[in-house]
Structure 1
Amino acid sequence: MSTSGTPGLDVLRVFCDAAGRHGNALGVVREGARFPGDAERQALAARLGYSETVFVDDPERGVLDIRTPGTALPFAGHPLVGCAWLLDLPELAPPAGPVEARSDGEFTWITARAAWAADRVPVRCGSPEEVDALPVPAPGGGWRYAWAWEDEAAGRVRARGFPGRGDGIDEDEATGSAAIALTAHLGRALNIRQGRGSQLLTAPGPDGLVELGGRVRFAEGSR
């Protein structure tokens, strides 16, 4: 298939709500060999403008190259959940290291190391309303993941993510790595509502591992 004039591109929405709405857009180039050069890949990621675009370099082993519009990433949560759903593999291989994957029918899950998300430092706010009212910060201030409890006893969180990179992604609709960082920080399972209404589920595991899950759908018109 072809989307946005790019051969072999699938566009997914990762971390949809229960009705299949919202979710963070993800571009997946299934045949990464079509775009072998570093500059060529980065230019395509910038042109597509998704928060991340993934180039699949080995579909059998799940070898992935993850790009924002401005740089390559060793690890990112929503691209890995999306690729786990699309490629239906038990393990993925981003640059950071091996990532286990599974599906329970409704949700697709990955298990990753919290240390890979250490730069997504969560900032606690006083209430969900305070999170909702936050303005988008000016670029250059680094990643900001603002959160507040909606229901602490139930582990329900309201969050928004601001990359601050100045690459056209002013606010991230759903940020898996930040959800992993927050889960490691709090040491408990979470049900996170981020952005316009995306849903991320997490659970801490042993040895610094965190499980991250969500619903994935093809973007409208992409298939």
Structure 2
Amino acid sequence: MTDYDVLRVFCSAGGGYGNELGVVRDGSVMPERSDRQAFAAKLGFSETVFVDDPERGIIDIYTPSTRLPFAGYPCVGAAWLLDVPELVTPAGVVGARQDGEFSWIEARAEWAPPRTLRQYGTAAEVDELPVPPPGEWIYAWAWEDGAAGRIRARAFPGRGDGIDEDEATGAAALLLTDQLGRALNITQGTGSQILTAPQPEGWVEIGGRVFLER
């Protein structure tokens, strides 16, 4: 069995919630994309990261069904684990930094896969949503406190690969921040926390707490 770590990314202040991420620290043990895809499907996490160069931060990201050129929460988790100033993804170079209890990355909205950002009138409406059938990748959100930038969100990948709802998703938060043009404090899923902040020249920072689960 290939060795891998399990991180929990975008945890709450108490260390709970967050989204599980598989990380294969030595990507050389599984160089073929087909093998990596099969392994990601076997693990069943929303995403699995293969580290191809830990010093340079070169990573390769997979869902259970496809390879991604960029994804938010895998980059936040990998940046924390590798403690490097940047990550190299097929989409581009992702800036990374640690700030106290938070791990941050800096990326661009055009790197994120397409998402349907669907606004609702209240947080209660978002809470009550059923899981939609496979199809669109939907990020359902509503303001909890507009003045404070607090948002309630849920994410429905619609991929039909066994992940009906993502507990915490950085790429969707990146797109929403780019669209709204302001810093956000997002509560997603059952209680995960995602922080974002727009930066000059089209960049967006995404931050959250990361814990090593096993």
TM-score, normalised to structure 1's length?
0.94
Which amino acid in the other structure matches residue 192 of structure 1? I
Structure 2 CA distance, aligned partners of 1:195 and 1:118?
A: 20
1:60 aligned partner: 55
Offset at 1:206? Answer: 1.2
2:208 aligned partner: 214
2:77 aligned partner: 82
Is contact 1:115–1:208 with CA below 8 Å preserved after alignment?
Answer: no
Is contact 2:87–2:96 with CA below 8 Å preserved after alignment?
Answer: yes
1:104 aligned partner: 99
2:108 aligned partner: 113
Q: 2:2 aligns with which of 2, 6, 11?
A: 6
Structure 2 CA distance, aligned partners of 1:64 and 1:166?
A: 25
Which consecutive unaligned segments of at least 5 residues does structure 2 have?
A: none
**After the TM superposition, which residues 98-177 of structure 1 pair with which residues of structure 2 at under 5 Å, given as runs?**
98-117=93-112, 119-139=114-134, 141-177=135-171
2:200 aligned counterpart, secondary structure: coil
Which amino acid in the other structure matches residue 107 of structure 2? A
Offset at 1:180? Answer: 0.4
Q: Deviations over 1:109-159 (max 9, x none)?
A: 0000011126123110010000000000111x2200000000000000000
Is contact 1:30–1:55 with CA below 8 Å preserved after alignment?
Answer: yes
Which amino acid in the other structure matches residue 96 of structure 1? A
The answer to whether residue 189 in structure 2 is matched with residue 195 in structure 1 is: yes
The answer to whether residue 9 in structure 2 is matched with residue 41 in structure 1 is: no
Structure 2 CA distance, aligned partners of 1:62 and 1:34?
A: 17
Which amino acid in the other structure matches residue 48 of structure 1? L
1:51 aligned partner: 46
Is contact 1:121–1:181 with CA below 8 Å preserved after alignment?
Answer: no
Structure 2 CA distance, aligned partners of 1:100 and 1:120?
A: 22
Which consecutive unaligned segments of at least 5 residues does structure 1 have?
A: none
Is contact 2:118–2:141 with CA below 8 Å preserved after alignment?
Answer: yes
2:201 aligned counterpart, secondary structure: coil
Structure 2 CA distance, aligned partners of 1:204 and 1:84?
A: 19
Which amino acid in the other structure matches residue 151 of structure 1? D
Deviation above 3 Å: which 4+ runs of structure 1? none
Which is worse superposed, 151-160 or 109-118? 109-118
Offset at 1:6? Answer: 3.0
Structure 1 CA distance, aligned partners of 2:171 and 2:9?
A: 13
CA RMSD of aligned residues (A): 0.8
Structure 2 CA distance, aligned partners of 1:118 and 1:218?
A: 27
User: Identity over aligned residues, as a percent?
Assistant: 68
Structure 2 CA distance, aligned partners of 1:61 and 1:213?
A: 21
Which is worse superposed, 34-43 or 172-181? 34-43
Structure 1 CA distance, aligned partners of 2:170 and 2:33?
A: 25
Which amino acid in the other structure matches residue 60 of structure 1? E
Aligned residue pairs, count: 214
Which amino acid in the other structure matches residue 6 of structure 1? T
